[in-house]
Amino acid sequence: MSNFINRRKFIAGSALSAAGLLMSEHTAGLNKPENQIASISNANRPSSYNLMKEVMKYRKIDSHVHAHLFDGGPEGNIAFADRLGIDKMFVSRPAYNGEGTPKEFRSYNDLMLDCMKQYPDRLIGQFTANAIYQKESLEEIKRCVDLGMVGLKVYTQLKINNPLFYPIIEKMIDLKMIIHMHAYAQLGLGGYRMKYDVGIRPNTSIPEDFVEIAKRYPEAMFQYAHIGGGGDWEYTCKSFVHYPNIYVDTSGSNNPENMIDSAMKLLGEDRLFFGSDNCYYQSVGKILASNLTENQKKKVFFDNYNAILRRSGNNID
Amino acid sequence: MLIDINAYVGHWPFQQLKYNTCEALLQRMNKFGVDVSVISNLNGIFYKNTQSANEELYEEIRSNSKFKDRFIPFAVINPIYAGWRDDLETCVTKLDMKGVRIYPKYHDFDIIDPACIELVKRVRDYGLPVAFNYRMVDSRQRSWMDIGYVVGTAKKEWNLKDIIPIIKAVPDAKYMILNFANAAVLSPEEINLVKNTDLIFDTSGRTITNMAEFLNLYGTNKFAFGTHSPILDYLTGLLRIESLYSNEADENTKELLRSGNAKRMLGL
Amino acid sequence: MSGLSRRKFVCGTAFSAAGIVMSDGFSGFIPRSNSGSNSSSESSEKKYNIMQEVMKYRKIDSHVHVNLSSTNSEVQKKFAEVLMNYSERMKVEKLMLSNPVTRLINSIPDGRPESFIANNNSVLGVMKIYPKIFSGSFTFNPVHAKESMDEIKRCVDLGMVNAKAYYQTKINDPSYYPIVEKMIDLKMVIHMHAEAQIGVGGYRMKYNGYKPLNVSIPDDFVDIAKRYPEAIFQYAHIGGGGDWEYMCKTLKNSPNVYVDTSGSNNEENLIDFAVKQLGENRVLFGSDNCYYQCVGKILASNLNESQMKKIFFENYNNLLRKGGRNVD
């Protein structure tokens, strides 16, 4: 306590002038940045970039988004679709958890059908299935297509190149619809460098699995899910350079700088789809921040996926 | 003429390096009389996708016309990473790379992994050398984030015995074995393999404690000047050559060490 | 004066090969009236001549050993020739030889008095072979207080000039106090093996470096140097493989700790960094029997000529001068 008083006395008494000097220096220091900002010449100012204007400039189809999975029903999807100018969302509810029995996947598809009814102008459902139940899956695909769903979304029950998938892929070829498969490139997952086994989802499809099935069915169309989903996107894109029937969507919670440019450099401008995987800010931000031309951005946000839809006559005008 | 077969540009993520750009290295070369340096990009050791590092190196060399004659770029290729065959072809046919440096420990594959054997064979078929090294830095001063090959532990630093298996697997490739840093007792069969292979060691490694003895053991055609710059100092590798007495190495032999052996392997 | 002793050095050892190297070295300096063309003589003048640079500097090696693996006098005699070869080739005019007990018995350092006495005897034997070039350091183990004190007295009487200790006991262990005090009286350097490696000697022991427990680390030197500011400590081999940035930063504010630059590692920037952190007076040339790196790392640095002189020779000579044992 006495120390404290001494110290205060010291400041009040003996060192007034020094303290005053320090204060005024400090004040001057505070003023300085203001002066500095004020003195930026016009020529040296940054250009005025209007981000929301850029966001709204592009029509968008979200090729990878979920409802009733992470963040509630379709109201949330629509709120973000409005906020970020997303015209159409291809919503899905894959067998993310549970066994993926026919009962389960039918109920998931029913949920998506309900979403479509609720927002018929904005939401289109991707149907899900489980190739382990081959007969039931094929029947379910027919049911869903008849009810207006477009495209297959599948998960980690089976690898994409498992022979049980063959009849389903052949069906999708007939339908001229894309097969959208959850995918990863992570050390120790799904057969990729298993000395680092992380012990999860052993049947996750990895880039090599896509390459194998894409070679077997060159007329099929595959969508490798979320290169921004946390995996090694360089590894992924480098794997697909020579396989034109594999497309990638840019969704996922990760938005590394240079991912979009790098993917475009490796895969060309026709094989990238905009997608959010419900990570809405990143989904748009990563594409706007890239060095893509306006035309390329249009393709990624809208035209590329629409071209896929066109093959089955489901394109958006 | 003086050719350094073991130099780098780029970063070491755990320690600041000096002279680690083409510009700074060129000044170093000019100061100490080095005509040409074989370089690769250190970043390629740390990037998963090593091709980005190769592209960086290509761009850096292109950035100034005076670099072209003075640097010989080597690619860094990881044969267990996607797209490496494309990358190798691009490096050789488009990026003017004249050899490949391979890092099994950093890129985490066995030296006789089928992928590594395939890489060495492909480089051989281009008529170019591959380079392996004993180590990049002394493990005793390694960062906690560096690889765990540590002197005095069960997972030790490499010596020549750890590199010989790839030479055995592809005996007709050209090898540069860099930074001779740990001793090993070789069997007569292994010594013969080394002698009969188109192989050169550079002079940067600490295990070369007496240059004359190493010349006697392996032959005067087996060594070439190397610095391991910018990790090791710029002169010790040269001192091993220049401090040889004339009764240990005549001028012709010294010229082989300064540049002759390197020229032969690089096809210059 | 220094010119004279240098000439004496060359004459005395009289290896014709050294003469050839020297004259090769000088030829770069001497303008040749009969040279083929101006341009070639110009380029030869400009050209960096490494051996000329090597020969330019007098040197005292502050950290060098006799053969560490044998006390057999024939083996040591043979090794003395290796040391002389180095002395000639790199122009090192004084070698501070030592033979610390590095042997491990069941992973524990041999700390027996008979072992350090035998090792000192091997150094004393080698010193006699080339007494003008070879000087010696004695070793001991402070845990054996009386035997160590007796041994120090014996060795000093026989002409040894400083202390060299190893990893039997940490430098800041209280058992060292009487030894340090003795060394203060003698005005001699205490040269201690030291490391800075994760998992060694108490530094980040979650990483096991598989080394004896009592290896001294930079922090131990700081501790003892603070307790005895008048003592002189030599932190061994910053090029010995450890983390030299850690070493130099730790020792920065301990003015009575010197470092020697020896060791098999010759990282670019090691010397410049050490001088920047510790100043040009606290860095000592040493080889630890790595005969190329020791000289190469200093010549490759950005030190000016005067700083190189200090490191190669003067700094250590100044320490010797404190006890009147300097060269000249």
Q: What is the pLDDT of residues B3-20, one digit of tens each?
A: 999 999 999 999 999 999
Question: Do B86 and A207 lie within an 8 Å CB cutoff?
Answer: no
Residue A94: other Cβ atoms inside 10 A: 25
Q: Is the pLDDT of residue A142 over 70?
A: yes
Q: Are residues C98 and C236 in the same domain?
A: yes
**pLDDT single digits (tens) A205-250:** 999 999 999 999 999 999 999 999 999 999 999 999 999 999 999 9
Q: Are residues C1 and C76 in the same domain?
A: no
Four-point Cα dihedral A290, A296, A297, A302, nearest 10: -150
Question: Does the residue C115 lie in any domain?
Answer: yes
**pLDDT single digits (tens) A31-80:** 555 567 777 777 778 888 999 999 999 999 999 999 999 889 999 999 99
Pairing of strands B223-224, B174-178: unpaired
Q: Answer whether the bond into residue B230 is a cis peptide, omega within 30°.
A: yes
Q: Which residues of chain C have pLDDT under 50?
A: 1-45
C296: chain B residues, CB-CB within 8 Å = 233, 235-239
Percent above pLDDT 70 for chain B: 100
A239: chain B residues, CB-CB within 8 Å = 82-83
Question: Do A235 and B80 lie within an 8 Å CB cutoff?
Answer: no
Q: Is the pLDDT of residue B241 over 70?
A: yes
* Nearest Cβ partner for A207 among B52, B82, B108: B82
Q: What secondary structure does DSSP assign to A197-254, as a single string?
A: ---S-TT-B-HHHHHHHHHH-TTS-EEE--TTSSS-HHHHHHHTTT-TTEEEE--SS-
Q: Are residues C254 and C311 in the same domain?
A: yes
Question: Does the residue C87 lie in any domain?
Answer: yes
Q: How many CB pairs under 8 A join A and B?
A: 23
The region, left, alpha or beta by phi > 0 then psi within -120 to 50, assigned to residue A53 is alpha
Residue of B nearest to C200 (CA): B140
Question: Do B235 and C244 lie within an 8 Å CB cutoff?
Answer: no
Q: Are residues C102 and C221 in the same domain?
A: yes
**Can you list the alpha helix ranges (DSSP code H) found in chain C?**
2-13, 16-27, 38-46, 50-56, 73-90, 113-129, 145-157, 177-186, 218-227, 244-251, 270-278, 293-299, 305-309, 315-322
Residue A290 CB contacts under 8 Å (≥ 6 apart), including other chains: A260, A261, A264, A297
Best mutation target, C210, C293, C302, C303, to test chain B (most B CBs within 10 A)? C293
**Structural domains of chain A, with CATH:** 2-44 (no CATH), 58-311 (3.20.20.140)
Min Cα distance B23 → chain C (Å) is 16
Predicted local confidence at residue B171, as pLDDT: 98
Query: What gap in Å lies between CA A107 and CA A146, rounded to an integer?
Result: 16
Percent above pLDDT 90 for chain A: 83
Q: Are residues C40 and C127 in the same domain?
A: no
Percent above pLDDT 90 for chain B: 97
Question: Does the residue C43 lie in any domain?
Answer: yes
Cα angle, residue C125 at apex, residues C119 and C126 outer, rounded to 5°: 95
Question: Which residue from B207, B141, B195 is spatially nearest to B164, judged by alpha carbons?
Answer: B195
Question: Do A239 and B49 lie within an 8 Å CB cutoff?
Answer: no
Predicted local confidence at residue A43, as pLDDT: 74
Q: What is the identity of the amino acid at A199? A: G
State which residues form the domain around C181: 60-322
Predicted local confidence at residue A87, as pLDDT: 98
Question: Do A235 and B86 lie within an 8 Å CB cutoff?
Answer: no
Query: What gap in Å lies between CA B5 and CA B28, rounded to an integer?
Result: 15
Residue C121 CB contacts under 8 Å (≥ 6 apart), including other chains: C71
A209: chain B residues, CB-CB within 8 Å = none
Min Cα distance B229 → chain A (Å) is 30
Residue, of C63 and A15, whose pLDDT is higher? C63
Q: What pLDDT band is residue A109 in, cutting at 50, 70 and 90?
A: very high
Six-digit token string for B152: 């005095």
CATH superfamily entry for domain B3-266:
Metal-dependent hydrolases (3.20.20.140)
Best mutation target, A234, A239, A259, A266, to test chain B (most B CBs within 10 A)? A234
Query: What gap in Å lies between CA A221 and CA B38, rounded to an integer?
Result: 45
Best mutation target, C23, C54, C268, C308, to test chain B (most B CBs within 10 A)? C268
**Touch test C–A: 3 Cβ pairs or more under 8 Å:** no
ipTM of the complex: 0.85
Q: Are residues C103 and C50 in the same domain?
A: no
> At C120, which CATH number?
3.20.20.140
Question: Do A241 and B80 lie within an 8 Å CB cutoff?
Answer: no
Question: Which residue from B258, B251, B254 is spatially nearest to B227, judged by alpha carbons?
Answer: B258
Q: What secondary structure does DSSP assign to B19-44, as a single string?
A: S-SHHHHHHHHHHHT--EEEEEETHH
Q: How many helices (H) and strands (E) does chain A have?
A: 13, 8
Predicted local confidence at residue C1, as pLDDT: 38
H/E segment holding residue B46: helix B43-46
Q: Are residues C37 and C98 in the same domain?
A: no
Pairing of strands C108-109, C104-105: antiparallel
H/E segment holding residue B194: helix B188-196
Q: Are residues C100 and C158 in the same domain?
A: yes
Q: Are residues C307 and C290 in the same domain?
A: yes
C265: chain B residues, CB-CB within 8 Å = 138, 141, 206, 232
Whether C212 has its CB under 8 Å from any CB of chain B: the answer is no
Residue B202: other Cβ atoms inside 10 A: 29
Partners of B198 in the β-ladder: B174
DSSP-based three-state secondary structure for A181: strand
**pLDDT single digits (tens) A265-287:** 999 999 999 999 999 999 999 99
Number of separate domains in chain C: 2
Query: What gap in Å lies between CA C56 and CA C255, rounded to an integer?
Result: 29
Whether C9 has its CB under 8 Å from any CB of chain B: the answer is no
Q: Are residues C35 and C148 in the same domain?
A: no
**pLDDT single digits (tens) B17-67:** 999 999 999 999 999 999 999 999 999 999 999 999 999 999 999 999 999
Residue of B nearest to A239 (CA): B82
* Nearest Cβ partner for A234 among B48, B80, B86: B48
Percent above pLDDT 70 for chain A: 89
Q: Are residues C311 and C187 in the same domain?
A: yes
**pLDDT single digits (tens) C86-126:** 999 999 999 999 999 999 999 999 999 999 999 999 999 99
Question: Does the residue C328 lie in any domain?
Answer: no
Question: Which residue from A77, A54, A113 is spatially nearest to A275, judged by alpha carbons?
Answer: A77
Whether C150 has its CB under 8 Å from any CB of chain B: the answer is no
- Three-state SS for B77-102 is CCCCCCCHHHHHHHHHHCCCCCCEEC
Cα C40 to chain centroid distance, Å, stands at: 40
| Residues of chain C numbered 37-56 and touching chain B (CB < 8 Å) | 47-48, 50-51, 54
**pLDDT single digits (tens) B78-101:** 999 999 999 999 999 999 999 999
| Residues of chain C numbered 125-144 and touching chain B (CB < 8 Å) | none
Q: Are residues C71 and C115 in the same domain?
A: yes
